[in-house]
């Protein structure tokens, strides 16, 4: 008989990709010296291979795993310096996974002591169980331990002044498996009272200064890119681009930028019109330059650089005010954006209310072009003869004899002569129709769809933040840096910040929660602005708590 060879093969069919992460240890406590040589390690198995891998420390700072590392299915974070929760973020195909571990770094404890009713109270925070004693009075050990979060034990101990002679000092002693510490000498109650009076005076003075000069809010771009951390829409974090590398290909020579007139100015910075020489294929082009004011804080400069790095990641779209370049070398930071010659959509709608018609045919029938083309004088200009003359006085040109579609053709012929004689741009003379409003709404929706696809939320979508350029192309922008919100009635004080409440979803107002759904809410208010030709909303609250909407010019 001939031998038969059989081979058994197992196949596993995966309907979708997977990501599995194994951490060496979920929770760990180590000394500060050990932490300098310690590495948090993870083993990754996934299909397909990860596209992205990053560590997040307790301060929400992100660092890349290193492409070679996670391509070999290993990820390590070495030399952690702080206690807290560390996260590993992975993206493979459509799968996003976040793994967390708690790390406790035991460093020298902070010991806080104070006198209260002739009793000396000392408090400290320790990562491990601790022995407490008092120097001079070691038999007194009245301690209270309250368990807190991982890595923190709050320990209190008290000592009566009756047990400390007037010519002595007290010291708080702490002993644990990580070391032995003694607090500085603590004066007796009599001296402490004098010091206490001085401290109270200093605190009162500090509070007066605080209320007299309230802390200036820090600048932050309204547009933010987010990283989802869970299945819910609310499970996300803002990506901090502070530690990301800036791509030098966006750098534009500062000497080729000629700054012009100011377009807007706010508490943090300004936007100016400028001429960029040699940008792209054009010899010179008009651009908008975003910059901080001359007197600014270092943290605001970091925020502007983070915004620049984020915009390089967002990419370009026809309905977004796109980034063109930047100047980050010697001198102030400049962010160079597309220039939109007709300003913001809100004022554009208000300025064109008188030229609004449901259709071009309605405009022709109602007022004989007067709202479409102001250079046409009197109703007699509607006659075919006068219309023929207004074009270019060419006797061979014969106007149509009937209305309807022929009137639209006549409108186009007439327009050519008007533009030629008036010296104005066609955009400034063209009537605003219902189809234009639909186009504005559609273009903004396309821009927001693009931002959503890039995991971006705007947080301040409104007609004032949508700009209009040639051919009635609208673009979503973020120029809050150059808006004086302190004198803008659209921004209402909530706590220590000003918010555009009328455009905000309830969860954003009450919980500070911004999502793509809250942007959709703001888009609904923007639709009101568009189809009411820039009319503002006035929100009132009835006794039953129902919000009522009213118009207000």
Query: Could you tell me which residues are annotated as the binding site for ATP?
Result: 264-271, 290, 464
Q: How far is CA 179 from CA 37, 128, 129, in A?
A: 19, 11, 12
Strands 257-265 and 269-277: antiparallel
Q: How far is CA 130 from CA 182, 222, 422, in A?
A: 13, 47, 87
Of 218, 220, 217, 216, nearest to 478 by C-alpha is: 220
Cα separation, 253 vs 247, whole angstroms: 15
Return the number of other C-beta atoms located less than 10 Å from residue 503's C-beta. Answer: 26
Of 142, 140, 137, nearest to 164 by C-alpha is: 137
CB contact at 8 A, 65 and 42: no
Binding residue numbers: 236, 264-271, 290, 464-465, 478
Q: How far is CA 518 from CA 459, 491, 506, 507, in A?
A: 8, 17, 8, 8
Q: What is the DSSP string of 201-231?
A: HHHHHHHHHHHHSPPPPPP--S-EEEEE-SS
Binding residue numbers for Mg(2+): 236, 465, 478
Cα separation, 78 vs 100, whole angstroms: 15
Q: How far is CA 491 from CA 161, 337, 504, 529, in A?
A: 55, 25, 11, 16
- Give catalytic residues, as residue numbers: 460
Q: What is the DSSP string of 220-275?
A: --S-EEEEE-SSSTT-EEE---TTSPPPGGGB--GGGEEEEEEEEE-SSEEEEEEE
What pairs with residue 95 in β-bridges?
92
CB contact at 8 A, 39 and 77: yes
């Amino acid at each position: 008989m001939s031998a038969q060879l059989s081979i058994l093969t197992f196949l596993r069919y995966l309907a979708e990709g997977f990501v599995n992460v194994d951490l060496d240890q979920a929770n760990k406590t180590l000394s500060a010296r050990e932490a300098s040589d310690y590495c948090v390690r993870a083993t990754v198995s996934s299909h397909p291979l990860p596209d992205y891998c990053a560590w997040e420390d307790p301060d929400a700072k992100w660092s890349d795993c290193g492409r070679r590392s996670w391509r070999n299915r290993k990820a390590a974070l070495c030399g952690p310096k702080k206690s807290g929760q560390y996260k590993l973020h992975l993206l493979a195909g459509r799968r996003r996974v976040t793994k967390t571990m708690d790390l406790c770094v035991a460093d020298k404890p902070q010991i806080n002591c104070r006198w209260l009713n002739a009793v000396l109270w000392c408090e400290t925070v320790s990562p491990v169980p601790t022995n407490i004693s008092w120097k001079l009075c070691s038999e007194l050990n009245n301690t209270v331990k309250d368990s807190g979060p991982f890595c923190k034990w709050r320990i209190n101990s008290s000592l009566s002044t009756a047990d400390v002679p007037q010519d002595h000092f007290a010291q708080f002693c702490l002993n644990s498996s990580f070391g032995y510490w003694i607090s500085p000498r603590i004066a007796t109650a009599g001296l402490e009272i004098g010091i206490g009076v001085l401290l109270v005076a200093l605190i009162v003075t500090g509070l007066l200064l605080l209320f007299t000069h309230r802390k200036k809010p820090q600048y932050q771009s309204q547009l933010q890119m987010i990283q989802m951390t869970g299945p819910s829409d609310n499970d996300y974090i803002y990506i901090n681009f502070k530690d990301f590398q800036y791509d030098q290909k966006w750098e534009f020579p500062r000497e080729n930028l000629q700054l012009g007139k100011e377009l807007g100015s706010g508490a943090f910075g300004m936007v100016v019109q400028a001429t960029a020489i040699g940008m792209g294929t054009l010899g010179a082009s008009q651009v908008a330059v975003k910059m901080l004011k001359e007197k600014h804080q270092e943290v605001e400069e970091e925020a502007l650089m983070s915004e620049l790095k984020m915009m390089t990641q967002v990419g370009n779209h026809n309905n977004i005010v796109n980034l063109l370049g930047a100047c980050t070398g010697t001198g102030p930071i400049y962010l160079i954006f597309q220039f939109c010659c007709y300003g913001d959509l809100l004022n554009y709608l208000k300025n064109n209310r008188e030229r609004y018609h449901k259709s071009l045919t309605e405009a022709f029938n109602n007022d004989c072009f007067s709202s479409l083309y102001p250079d046409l004088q009197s109703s007699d200009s509607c006659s075919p003869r006068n219309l023929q003359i207004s074009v270019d006085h060419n006797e061979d040109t014969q106007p149509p004899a009937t209305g309807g579609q022929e009137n639209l053709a006549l409108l186009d012929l007439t327009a050519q002569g008007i533009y030629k004689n008036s010296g104005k741009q066609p955009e400034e003379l063209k009537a605003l129709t219902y189809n234009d409003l639909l186009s504005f709404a559609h273009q903004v929706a396309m821009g927001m769809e693009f931002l959503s696809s890039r995991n971006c939320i705007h947080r301040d979508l409104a007609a004032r933040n949508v700009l209009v350029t040639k051919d009635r192309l609208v673009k979503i922008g973020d120029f809050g840096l150059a808006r004086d919100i302190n004198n803008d009635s659209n921004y209402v004080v909530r706590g220590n910040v000003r918010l555009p409440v009328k455009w905000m979803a309830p969860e954003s107002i009450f919980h500070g929660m911004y999502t793509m759904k809250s942007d959709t809410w703001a888009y609904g208010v923007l639709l009101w602005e568009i189809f009411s030709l820039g009319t503002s909303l006035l929100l009132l609250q009835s006794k039953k708590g129902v919000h009522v909407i009213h118009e207000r010019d």
